[in-house]
Chains A and B, each alone.
Chain A
Amino acid sequence: MSATAAIAAPRKVRRRNAVLGLLAWVCGIVFVLPMVWMVLTSLHSESDAATNPPSLAAPLTLDGYREFFGVGGGASPWPPLANSLTASVVSTLCVLVLALPAAYALSIRPVRKWTDVLFFFLSTKMLPVVAGLLPIYLFAKNTGFLDNIWLLVILYTSMNLPIAVWMMQSFLAEVPTALIEAAQMDGARLPTVLTRVVAPVAAPGIAATALICFIFSWNEMLFARVLTGVVAETAPVFLTTFITSQGLFLAKVCAASLVISLPVLAAGFAAQDKLVQGLSLGAVK
């Protein structure tokens, strides 16, 4: 390398970095643009929302949100939102209660062939949901569980349990064993060890697991669509009523989509750092 090149390099590198940084910004903005447009549309009146070319500077209004919350008549979104909340929160709690001991038996004090067990859990995730749908539907129909939110709680628990076991297994593996052995020497039994020793140390990981399970339950639509009706309808099923809408409804559909996505956005950003670990089932740290 010649002397001039060595001096010129930093400036060139700096310029290249600036260009690539700018490019990253452009990409980020392009990706988020549809969502920005969605927010803007939700704040427009229906007639301003449906113009071509789009009206950027139209006056802002909360009519879309009022319409969505059923102020002007129409179905109220509160029961579906409450159903979604019940199904997501309760199933997440069930997942934690089942997954924490299981992860303990797969990492801290592993059973024999613990990798086989771990892969059994993963394999259930690869079974297409749709293959088990019919028997579950028939079971629900014959036992009166159709259109019952507790059925969704059970199904969402089973849907998220493998993810939670994989995630927690990798989080618990990081808990120092000396800590657990000390507690056991003091005579603590498993529930105490889990709640008093393991849980506090692995708390950030457990919280991330919970948030991810919450997101998946909140998003789920196929089970909810087939197994619920008027009573236990969840928020995504409520959204499907917009699929065939006619006339002016863009502001309302944007408001609805945003409000219903809000819990997921909040949970996702809260778990941002652990999101990859959760989505890759603990394989990526």
Chain B
Amino acid sequence: MSAPTTTPQAGTRDIPPAARPRPSQAGGGPSNRLRAWVTRAPLLPALVFMIVVTQLPFVATLVVSLFDWNALYPEARSFSGFANYAEVLGDAELRDSVVTTVLLTATVVLVSLVLGLLLALLLDRTFKGRGVVRTLLIAPFLLVPVAAALLWKHVLYNPEYGLLNGMLTWLFGDDAPQPDWVAEMPLGAVEVALIWQWTPFMMLILLAGLQSRPADAIEAARIDGAGAWQIFRYLTLPHLRRYLELGALLGSIYIVQNFDAVFTITSGGLGTANLPYTIYQTFYQGHEYGLASAAGVLVVIGSLIIATLALRVVSSLFREEARS
């Protein structure tokens, strides 16, 4: 720590621009490189840490994926080239989990985006208790994911004493239908629980988008006689484009990786095993290290492709719409 002269108050002194030190003015040949390193220095700890903790394991995964390695038979470990990849791609269970992942992610993201948009539109107006309603709506997002999944599994979906069937009994009396929600629509059960948690997230992003709308353009359109639908379609929606994209992308990134809800509600049974769950299963219970790694590598490639594609498709879609 240097001299105590550097208190925040020191900064409030007004300094004429000419007196400010300019890096370019002080520039000298060899000291430039030193200066570049001085500039970079604060970044390095974080960068090195990230590379070591997130990139090295991935390289290790790549290496392991080339080995035939089952932890229960460690002496049988051998180099097998791309055999694991062939096995993963030919494995029906893994292919199913790819489909499940896509279905789960697409459903949850789209439904919570639409619901989030409707809620954001409702909240983007003044009414009594607006702050309270906003807080109520955020609450589901602030439950620990495992806790939220347990709530749905045991307290709401339970066929004998869950709230859903209890409400059916209230409404229709003793001979009301009492479906076993998780058994009859396993993927839907997981999806509804996730939509409940992620709608607030979408709503928050879209609400921020709505509130950054230029008010004068909307006022001008209204004076020119534009109806509510026209304003929404030609002013609000194009403005929200960036926010919808962002919500969809971030939602996809988080939900593709979802493990907690699948693990808790169905334990991956009944055709709900998504990729993270299947890989977890392959390595943690199947002890097939090589296979799990190959699947992991494929997931990484897949999610990189999806992330890149999604960005492009969505932005071009909206550009076309804006033109028509």
Contact = CB atoms under 8 A, between A and B. Distances in A.
Interface of A: 17-18, 20-21, 23-25, 27-29, 31-32, 34-35, 37-38, 41, 49-54, 98-99, 101-102, 104-106, 109, 111-112, 117, 120-121, 124-139, 154-155, 157-158, 161-162, 165, 176, 178-193, 196-197, 200-201, 215, 218-219, 221-222, 225-226, 235-236, 239-240, 242-245, 249-250, 253-254, 256-258, 260-261, 264-265, 268-269, 272, 275-276, 279-281, 283-285
Interface stretch (B88-96, B251-259, B313-321): B251-259
Given A101-B45, A131-B300, A189-B2, A37 B276 contact: no
Given A125-B253, A190-B42, A135 B150 contact: no
Contact of B151 (A31, A34, A133, A196): A34
Nearest to A108: B42
Contacts of B156: 34, 37
Contact of A135 (B11, B64, B143): B64
Interface stretch (B47-55, B78-86, B213-221): B47-55
B94 to A, nearest CB: 13
Contacts of B56: 135
29 contacts: A25-B129, A34-B155, A35-B140, A52-B160, A52-B161, A53-B166, A111-B39, A127-B303, A128-B299, A130-B280, A135-B58, A135-B61, A138-B60, A165-B46, A179-B11, A182-B15, A185-B15, A186-B3, A186-B6, A187-B5, A190-B41, A192-B2, A215-B142, A218-B144, A226-B280, A226-B284, A261-B143, A275-B138, A284-B246
B296 A128 contact: yes
Nearest to B306: A126
Closest 5 CB pairs of A and B: A21-B127, A101-B42, A257-B147, A179-B11, A135-B60
B324 interface: no
Contacts of A134: 60-61, 64, 283, 289, 292-293, 296
A130 B279 contact: yes
B230 interface: no
Main secondary structure of the interface of A (DSSP, over half): helix
Nearest to B266: A243
A272 B138 contact: yes
A237 to B, nearest CB: 8
A257 B151 contact: yes
Contacts of A260: 144, 147
A102 B46 contact: yes
B122 A23 contact: yes
B49 A98 contact: yes
Given A34-B140, A192-B1, A222-B276, A54 B43 contact: no
Contacts of A250: 154-155, 161
A34 B49 contact: no
B43 A111 contact: yes
B53 A131 contact: no
Contacts of B169: 52-53
A124 B54 contact: yes
Nearest to B259: A222
Interface string B282-306: 0110000100110011011001100
Given A161-B49, A222-B280, A272-B135, A242 B150 contact: yes
B136 interface: yes
B135 A236 contact: no
A50 B160 CA distance: 8
Contact of A126 (B43, B140, B307): B307
Interface stretch (B183-191, B204-212, B231-239): B204-212
Q: How large is the interface on B (under 10, 10 to 19, 20 to 34, 35 or more residues)?
A: 35 or more
A106 B43 contact: yes
B124 to A, nearest CB: 10
B146 A130 contact: no
Given A32-B137, A135-B61, A261-B144, A188 B6 contact: yes
Contacts of A136: 57
B128 interface: yes
A157 B52 CA distance: 12
Interface string B18-43: 01110000000000000010011111
A279 B137 contact: no
Contacts of A188: 2-3, 5-6
Interface in B152-173: 152-156, 160-161, 163, 165-167, 169-170
A265 B205 CA distance: 19
A193 to B, nearest CB: 7
Contact of B142 (A37, A133, A201, A265): A265
Given A34-B163, A128-B256, A178-B11, 7 more contacts: A25-B129, A52-B165, A98-B49, A120-B47, A222-B276, A240-B263, A276-B207
B264 interface: yes
A196 B8 contact: yes
A221 B8 contact: no
A285 B42 CA distance: 25
